[in-house]
Amino acid sequence: MVFRGERMTTLLEMRGISKVFPGVRALDNVNLTVEAGEIHAICGENGAGKSTLMKVLSGVYPHGSYEGEIVYDGATLACRNIRDSEEKGIIIIHQELALVPLLSIAENLFLGNEIAKGGVINWPEAYQKTEALLKKVGLSEPPATKVEKLGVGKQQLIEIAKALAKDVRLLILDEPTAALQENDSQKLLDLMLELQNQGVTQIIISHKLNEISRVADRITIIRDGGTVSTLKASEISEERIIRDMVGRDMAHRYPERVPKIGEVLLEVRDWNVWHPEQKQRQMIKGAAFNVRRGEIVGIAGLMGAGRTELAMSIFGHSYGRDVSGSVTIGGKPADTSTVARAIDAGLAYVTEDRKSLGLILEEPIVRNITLANLFGVSKNGVLNHHREQKVAEDYRRALAIRTPSVFQKAVNLSGGNQQKVVLSKWLFADPQVLILDEPTRGIDVGAKFEIYGIMNDLAAQGRGVVMISSEMPELLGMCDRIYVMNEGRIVGELSKAEASQEKIMALILKGSEVKVEQGMVA
């Protein structure tokens, strides 16, 4: 068993690592030392170079494409590709999911590492091992379940189970809890501590400072591609981490705001949605809520509560079938039956899954930002490229998107900067109501503050903002009212004055009890 503060042998040293992309010096003489058996956290703002450093370590960026030296287990490490690093026991789980949606859980877990003899896969053994791995990460889905049937949070857990299927010595987790609810995050952190007790060394990149404080033995902070500090567990505090990350103190986590709330802007009544494939399964059940002008309204709930399904179904019936109910915007009935009609009605939706649904990754930033409002950069059906570039440049500056050019492909941006591009796209569409689904997932504290400021600005303009978030402190800090969902129903509503984490959880539990009682009566 490994204890915090115990002197351990050095497993990994990264010395003077520098990495240059066209127009950007992503890493500048970074140094990192990881002791055997420790959990070492890496923190920094989006674009600071955290993920780039781990891609250098894991062979995604091969030896020769960077400057500096890596020493692993006492020997020089010179990986040509990710397979080389995996053979050394270095396994990386990237922030963006890398699963094959049309394959089963079992097929994904052992893809490239099949349990086979003579070219024939032993499916009973594969399923048995899959069940054991899923149990470790808190999942109970059948091994034959296709990954595309699972939500983002469960897919992240599948990624972790896939790493555990290999002979891992150094496990790198890039924002592993970004897609998880609080309960699932705690289970994952418990799993990390359990793996540490089994001798697995771990590096975690995370923006959730409370999680880092809980599991990390040491933390290295990177800013603008360079190493700022390395702190021991006893030295870790949110104030110190934030100061080193952003180069300044942040007295307030959430920007101050005096709300000026007006009349009802958006009203949804008796909203019902059925599962797109499971005909007997109703996902949203008689949901009703409203948003006033100048108001930020939160939607809380555990994973599977139906928050994303509610938002997507309202925005152009993007999810589900047999969608019914009414939507009014500005007191007038609104047709939101297609995405184009929803946009015309004044709605915008920032998806939780920016990689698959929010961006065209192989297109440049400028194309992504103007995509939802091409009329704003065209005349008589002809694009004005000068106008398009100016719009993209304006949003690049306003949202502090870190990129050398708006013509850079979105795929080359960090996760947080990708999210800013998605947000820019919908801001340019000039919505009356902006629905934000996990808008700060995988984003550092500095960038979060910027996005909170944008939300406040929209509310100050008399627009309505709907915020779906798995982080209760975020909802409590930003929202004027909070609706609570459970099992597809809205089970409660709390004002800012009366809302608390305890009351939100009490409403969720009460909603579960009501569901059980209704089932018993039936």
**Banded model confidence at residue 118, pLDDT cuts 50, 70, 90:** confident
Residues 6+ apart with CB under 8 A from 15: 31, 68, 69, 70, 71
**Banded model confidence at residue 485, pLDDT cuts 50, 70, 90:** very high
CATH top class, domain 1-89+169-251: alpha beta
Give the pLDDT score at 331. 94
Give the pLDDT score at 55. 93
Is it the case that residue 522 has pLDDT exceeding 50? Answer: no
Is it the case that residue 82 has pLDDT exceeding 80? Answer: yes
Q: Which of 83-92, 108-117, 183-192, 227-236 has the lowest mean pLDDT?
A: 183-192
Buried b (16+ CB within 10 A) or exposed e, 463-477: bbbbbbbbbbebbbe
Give the pLDDT score at 512. 52
**Banded model confidence at residue 450, pLDDT cuts 50, 70, 90:** confident
Phi, psi of 327 (to 5 degrees): -130, 130
Residues 6+ apart with CB under 8 A from 512: 486, 487
**The domain made up of 254-346+431-522 is a member of CATH 3.40.50.300:** yes
Buried b (16+ CB within 10 A) or exposed e, 264-296: bbbbbeebbbbbeeeeeebbbbebebbbbbbbb
Tokens standing for 414?
């960090």
Q: 400: alpha, beta or left, given left = phi > 0 and alpha = psi -120 to 50?
A: left
Helix or strand (DSSP H, E) at 299: strand 296-300
CA end-to-end span of the chain, whole Å?
51
Is it the case that residue 363 has pLDDT exceeding 60? Answer: yes
pTM of the entire predicted model? 0.63
SS3 of 191-237: the string is HHHHHHHCCCEEEEECCCHHHHHHHCCEEEEEECCEEEEEEEHHHCC
State what percent of residues in the chain have pLDDT above 90. Answer: 59
> For the residues 431-454, what does the mean pLDDT come to?
85
> For the residues 496-504, what does the mean pLDDT come to?
91
Q: Which of 66-75, 224-233, 246-255 has the lowest mean pLDDT?
A: 246-255
Which segments within 94-144 are labelled E, that is strand?
Answer: 116-117, 120-121
> For the residues 191-216, what does the mean pLDDT come to?
89
Whether 277 and 145 have beta carbons less than 8 Å apart is answered as: no
Q: How far is the CA of 347 from the CAs of 24, 266, 465, 470, 519, in angstroms?
A: 36, 9, 10, 22, 36
Give the pLDDT score at 92. 92
> For the residues 220-238, what does the mean pLDDT come to?
89
Per residue in 281-307, pLDDT (tens digit) is: 999 999 999 999 999 999 998 777 899
Could you count the other beta carbons within 10 Å of the beta carbon of residue 394? 14
* Dihedral angle over CA of 221, 223, 225, 226, nearest 10: -60
Tokens standing for 291?
């948003």
Q: Which neighbouring-strand residues pair with 273?
A: 284
Q: How far is the CA of 393 from the CAs of 90, 363, 386, 446, 448, in angstroms?
A: 40, 16, 11, 21, 21
> For the residues 218-242, what does the mean pLDDT come to?
88
Per residue in 41-71, pLDDT (tens digit) is: 998 876 788 889 999 999 999 999 999 999 9
Go through the chain and tell me how many residues it has. 522
CA–CA separation, 17 and 249 (whole Å)? 28
Q: Which neighbouring-strand residues pair with 326?
A: 269
Give the pLDDT score at 179. 65
Is it the case that residue 177 has pLDDT exceeding 90? Answer: no
Domain boundaries, given as residue ranges, for the chain: 1-89+169-251, 95-166, 254-346+431-522, 358-430
**Banded model confidence at residue 5, pLDDT cuts 50, 70, 90:** very low
Question: Residue 9 corresponds to which amino acid?
Answer: T
Between residues 76 and 445, the one the model is more confident about: 76
Is it the case that residue 182 has pLDDT exceeding 80? Answer: no
Q: Which of 5-14, 157-166, 203-212, 466-475 has the lowest mean pLDDT?
A: 5-14
Is it the case that residue 3 has pLDDT exceeding 50? Answer: no
Could you count the other beta carbons within 10 Å of the beta carbon of residue 511? 21
Is it the case that residue 244 has pLDDT exceeding 90? Answer: no
The SS3 of residue 399 is coil
Surface-to-core class of residue 31, CB atoms within 10 Å of its CB (0-12 exposed, 13-18 middle, 19+ buried): middle
Is it the case that residue 518 has pLDDT exceeding 50? Answer: no
Could you count the other beta carbons within 10 Å of the beta carbon of residue 385? 11
Tokens standing for 397?
């500056």
Could you count the other beta carbons within 10 Å of the beta carbon of residue 217? 22
> For the residues 228-240, what does the mean pLDDT come to?
86
Q: Which neighbouring-strand residues pair with 17?
A: 30
Mean pLDDT of the chain: 88
Q: Name the residue among 278, 289, 284, 350 with its Cα closest to residue 323.
A: 284
Give the pLDDT score at 181. 67
Give the pLDDT score at 249. 57
- C-alpha of 241 from chain center: 21
Whether 365 and 410 have beta carbons less than 8 Å apart is answered as: yes
Is it the case that residue 513 has pLDDT exceeding 80? Answer: no
DSSP labels, 410-451:
GGGS-HHHHHHHHHHHHHHT--SEEEEESTTTT--HHHHHHH
Q: Name the residue among 115, 105, 116, 208 with its Cα closest to residue 161.
A: 105
Between residues 450 and 76, the one the model is more confident about: 76
CA–CA separation, 111 and 448 (whole Å)? 36
Phi, psi of 35 (to 5 degrees): -85, 150
Give the pLDDT score at 1. 40
Per residue in 388-437, pLDDT (tens digit) is: 999 999 999 988 888 889 999 998 887 778 888 999 999 999 999 999 99
> For the residues 216-224, what does the mean pLDDT come to?
93
CA–CA separation, 84 and 61 (whole Å)? 12
Give the pLDDT score at 511. 60
